[in-house]
Amino acid sequence: MSFRTIAVLLLFLIYASPSFPQGLHIKGNDALIDERSSYNVFEKISPTFNNILILDFEIIPARSRGSIVRIKDDEAGSVYNISYNEEGDISTFKLNHEGRDNLISISLKKDILKGNQWIKAYAEFDMIKDSVKLRINEKEVSISLKQSQNTWNPHIYFGRSEHVIDVPDFKLRNLIVRDNDKTYFFPLNESEGESVHDSNRKITGHVTNPVWLINDAYHWKLGPSFSSRRVAGSNFNPTTQDIYYFNEDSITVYNVRTNRRRAHKYHNRCPMEMRLGTNFMDQKNNRLYIYEVADPVSGNITIAYLDLHNYEWTTVSSEVLPMQLHHHSNYMDAENGRYIIFGGFGRTSYFNNFYSFNLHLNHWEKLEFGGDTITPRYFTSMGYNEADKCLYLFGGMGNKAGDQTVGRVYYYELYKIDTNIGKIEKIWEIPWNKENAVPVRNMFFPNKDQFYILCYPEHVSHSFLKLYRFSTADGAYKILGDSIPILSEKITTNANIYYNMQSNELLSIVQEFERDDRASTAKVYSISFPPVTEEELTFYSEKEKSSKVWIMILIIGLIILLSSVFMHKKKRKHGQDINAVLQRKNIPEHDTTANVQTKRTEPNSIYLFGEFSLIDKHNREINYMLSSKLRQAFFLILYHSLDKGITSQDFSKILWPNKSYEMSKNSRGVTLNNLRKILGDLDGTNLVHDKRSYKITFSDECYCDYLDCLNIVSGNNPEEHMDKFISIISRGKFLESEDSPILDPFKGYIESKIESTMYYYMEKAYTSGNYTATVSLCESFFNIDPLDGTSLQYLIKSLSRLDLKDEAKRRYYLFTTEYKKTMGEEYDKPFADLLR
């Protein structure tokens, strides 16, 4: 590889956002023909390669057969392709002179390609030596091939192209196309759209029907779920790829590679009653251990194991520890045949002891360490770093006294535990300016420098797990991916994180217990490894936005230099009008009135127009704390609050229509208590029970756009509040993302209240020459009635007045298309008539 090529790759690694290229999934024969992917590498440019042409890329061939890539030489009238085929246990890659003959074949055993592992592919056309070379992984074949010229202006297609529709499913990343002088590198890290960027962030290619793999590295994917009415446990065996969900009666085995689910009854009776579902895997002997550290429910058996070969239980021990240890962290030391736990909570106390259960002697022993002291705590996370053969312990919640009544402290610190020399070393402690959170029981070290862990605010009932990557050296961290919901009401609820090497994914099993502390549901989530941040996900779209901003700045600068002050102001205002309409955003100020685009973000605010948003007294958005049912309850009570409120009977009948009033008592109580607790995070609003009805009250400390809007439409001086009214409705449709039928009356009520005011302001704005405000009002009215003729006419006339006739025609076309689709007939007013 030339120095120039190496330099290009180094620059990409320095400046490109995602640390690891994720790639592109090419959809093949499993999809309909029109839905198969086609990637034209050089659609936007036409480079010429001299003397040699090299294609270098990584691929995961999933299944099926067909053409992976086609390389066209229009001048020579030749097409070459690399195809893939599976037969039995053999996978074959072929380099073909399309329509003529096969040039090279390389066969691999299919097990080399199993799982989600990338393999390297390399094709070289040497126009000086008249040779061609194909290399797949480490297998390489070269042959002589007479070529008619020393330059090549290739057209390169991955997937479907022209008449070639027989395409395998495969994943592609790290594409390099080069000669000895120039290199084009395509990491394929886009997250949306059909444009493909090179390593210099320039759009060079185009792909139809893409599936961008970076999304799998940001969005947790929900997999199988399991439930049990009896106490259950869960675990994952990366060797067999099996997830286990089990109770005292049976075990369900789910294989993540084959998606096969099997249920098994035990060969004999489980010898102990499960209380917490705590368990660990002995992968070496293929055994699943269940245990209780103290207070067995019945009898005296505290540890037993299930042989996963024959599903037979064996009693192991009746030993107990001196105390209950809820939410202790754990690590299975397979090399030394022992299971280590740390910390925990029980009987109003926190603990900081290390215990080890010896699988050979079937005996608990307390481990003693020198060095730094870890204060008593629970909700800690423990993991093993293969690089230095040491355990690490992170986080937790407790206090120095170990006494719950003293209060609790959240810890954000990392300890290194060397079990060989019996020493604990505190590595770091970092400040935490986010909402307090605790980690899950285990963590994953991909290398010596960093670890991955899931954390969540356990004090919030409807909480969310977030994935963190911490530096082992100094505690620097990043939040990766989106979030996993978790209901953290019960102390038995738990979550774990696992790395699946075979699929190159992180798995999380979230097990939520119900009110009776026995029934539970376990859900499995997965995310591609390595996961990415939100900034990495949106890297290209943000850069394109940034580029547009700089272009606009340059244009404005030129206007300033070339225009008089009068013309500059006029053109700048006109440019703002264009942006306001074309981008369909809220409309900027007119004359000296307040800017209606301003989005209020003060503490203690509630927004119902557009996306629902709840801002607490610390200026944090907390609407994520409201589950679907809590949202419905909140909106329902708010709707009735301007009247007498809603009675308990009506409230129950609407939210739980299939339950009697008495049967819904518990659900009603929990819902109202949770709602009251969440609203308690805002100053100036309260959920009250008055005269047998529930209502939400507001003081001046809390802002609600819905109430502000009603005050405007029912006031005596609407002229004074037009800009404020536009700023409210321009946020979007009322309760835009809420689609529950029980909210239809609420939506209908607010729409009926604001319709006449919108028409009034529409006419007033247009006749006064405020065309940008007119456009904004028309756009908002389309949220209520997308086929409203009056709004269309005001919109077309206002756009024309703003000298945006092309946009007016486009909007007319969109309207008439939607009208015909909905009404089944043509719209009867020509465009010209709307301008009169």
Same domain? For 188 and 292 the reply is no
What is this structure's pTM? 0.64
- Is residue 545 situated within a structural domain? no
Query: What was the pLDDT predicted at 471?
Result: 97
Q: What distance in Å separates the CA atoms of residue 301 and residue 324, rounded to the nearest whole number? A: 15
Same domain? For 125 and 237 the reply is no
How far CA 382 is from CA of 344, 522, 671, in Å, comes to 13, 22, 35
Give the three-state DSSP class for 210. coil
- Is residue 3 situated within a structural domain? no
- Is residue 544 situated within a structural domain? no
Same domain? For 299 and 213 the reply is no
Cβ proximity of 432 and 597 under 8 Å: no
Query: What was the pLDDT predicted at 570?
Result: 40
Same domain? For 234 and 207 the reply is no
Same domain? For 264 and 344 the reply is yes
Residue 156 domain boundaries: 19-217
Same domain? For 156 and 273 the reply is no
From 785, 805, 828, give the residue that closes a domain. 785
Q: What distance in Å separates the CA atoms of residue 197 and residue 195, rounded to the nearest whole number? A: 7
Same domain? For 645 and 764 the reply is yes
Q: How far is CA 560 from the centre of its chain?
A: 43
Same domain? For 235 and 213 the reply is no
Tally of domains within the chain: 3
Cβ proximity of 467 and 498 under 8 Å: no
Q: What is the CATH number of the domain that holds 316?
A: 2.120.10.80
Cβ proximity of 706 and 696 under 8 Å: no
From 436, 462, 488, give the residue that closes a domain. 462
Cβ proximity of 633 and 672 under 8 Å: yes
Same domain? For 272 and 192 the reply is no
Q: Which residues contact 4 (CB under 8 A, 6 or more apart)?
A: 181, 182, 183
Q: What is the CATH number of the domain that holds 157?
A: 2.60.120.200
**Token pair for 282:** 């002995």
Residue ranges with strand state E in 88-197: 90-97, 101-109, 119-126, 131-136, 139-144, 151-152, 155-159, 169-178, 183-186, 195-197
Give the three-state DSSP class for 762. helix
Q: What distance in Å separates the CA atoms of residue 603 and residue 553, rounded to the nearest whole number? A: 33
**Token pair for 583:** 């981008």
- Is residue 48 situated within a structural domain? yes
- Is residue 313 situated within a structural domain? yes
Same domain? For 156 and 109 the reply is yes
| E strand or H helix at 221 | strand 221-228
Task: State phi, psi for 3 to the nearest 5 degrees.
Answer: -60, -40
Same domain? For 187 and 247 the reply is no
The per-residue DSSP string of 582-639 comes to: HTT------TTS--TTPPP--SSEEE-BSS-EEE-TTS-B-GGGS-HHHHHHHHHHHH
- Is residue 397 situated within a structural domain? yes
**Token pair for 19:** 């640390």
- Is residue 546 situated within a structural domain? no
From 462, 495, 517, give the residue that closes a domain. 462
Block means of pLDDT (10 residues each) for the chain, length 836 residues?
46 45 89 93 94 95 86 87 88 92 90 75 94 93 87 94 91 95 93 91 94 93 93 95 96 93 95 92 96 83 96 95 93 95 93 96 96 96 95 96 90 97 96 92 95 94 93 96 88 92 93 89 94 88 48 50 44 41 38 38 88 88 86 93 89 88 83 90 90 89 92 81 90 89 90 89 91 93 91 93 88 90 87 84
Q: For the beta carbon of residue 406, count every other beta carbon within 10 angstroms.
A: 12
- Is residue 559 situated within a structural domain? no
Same domain? For 611 and 760 the reply is yes
Q: Which residues contact 394 (CB under 8 A, 6 or more apart)?
A: 380, 381, 382, 383, 413, 414, 415, 439, 443, 451, 453, 470
